[in-house]
Amino acid sequence: MFHCVYFNAKVIVFAAKRLLTTTPVQQPLVNLKHSFFMPMNSTDSQIKEDMLLPEIEDKPPMANRFRGYLPVVIDVETAGFNPKKNALLEIAAVLLDMDEEGIITPGETIACHILPFKGSELDQAALDFTGIDPYHPFRMAVEEKHALPKIFKPIREAIKINGCTRAILVGHNPSFDLSFLNAAAKRSGIKRNPFHAFSTFDTATLGGLAYGQTVLARAVKAAGFDWDSERAHSAIYDTQRTADLFCNIVNRWSTLTRDAENSE
């Protein structure tokens, strides 16, 4: 499957280059958005970046595994479902390492407790679900504008070390996490967000494919890991278990494809 997708991407990139040199930009870009399954509200700079990513040689193995993107596992805990109105309360990130054989493993964990932004709404049902007291002094929480740089700095460093172009968010139903991350970055005036603007890897989908389970706790157990319900719904714990699940599925796929190639 991955070989077919990669081949098609190269063909589309070649066609895109030809179109961009012979016709106005607006019309071919609309068609190419559909070809790449890109949202219609994507920025032109993001679209062009995705279309024209070069084929990378002599780079760390991670640079070649996901089209030059570095997967970073993210989980957020919030005070509701609306990223523009409800507060971001916790964020955790797990960086991933890859050896020369292409096996990925969870690496460093970075996390912050965050104070609700000014004027934010706190949904009591959400707070009851997570058990978070946003203003508890022992949380040692900081404002968004201080928390996000702490998360983003090691991610940018990992992107550079791994020869990648940008981070791509890995999460369980990650559109939720990415929406809160992007909203917080915008409120904080952060212009260099290391994450892809809209693409993600979803462990709910991958868990359903690999184990027939879409609920995080069930997918983690199906993959052979422990699940502690009392520690769940904290950003650090959920991120670490999501990282275990993602690595397990990617490594399992790599083993299956390698065995299939060796049997031919």
Full set of structural domains in the chain with CATH: 1-52 (no CATH), 60-263 (3.30.420.10)
Is 233 one of the catalytic residues?
yes
Please state, rounded to an integer, the average pLDDT across all residues of the chain: 84
Is residue 210 predicted with pLDDT exceeding 60? yes
pTM confidence score: 0.78
Q: What is the mean pLDDT of residues 198-225?
A: 98
DSSP-assigned letter for residue 89: E
> In the structure, what pLDDT confidence band is assigned to residue 49 with cuts at 50, 70 and 90?
low
Burial class (CB in 10 A: 0-12, 13-18, 19+), 20: middle
Scored b (16 or more CB within 10 A) or e, 229-254 reads eeeeebbbbbbbbbbbbbbbbbbeeb
Look at 18 and 184; give whichever has higher pLDDT: 184
- The percentage of residues in the chain with a pLDDT greater than 70, rounded to a whole number, is 78
Please tell me the distance from the alpha carbon of residue 161 to that of residue 104, in angstroms, as a whole number: 15
* Rounded mean pLDDT, 61-89: 97
Catalytic residue among 3, 34, 196, 233: 233
Above 80 in pLDDT, residue 5? no
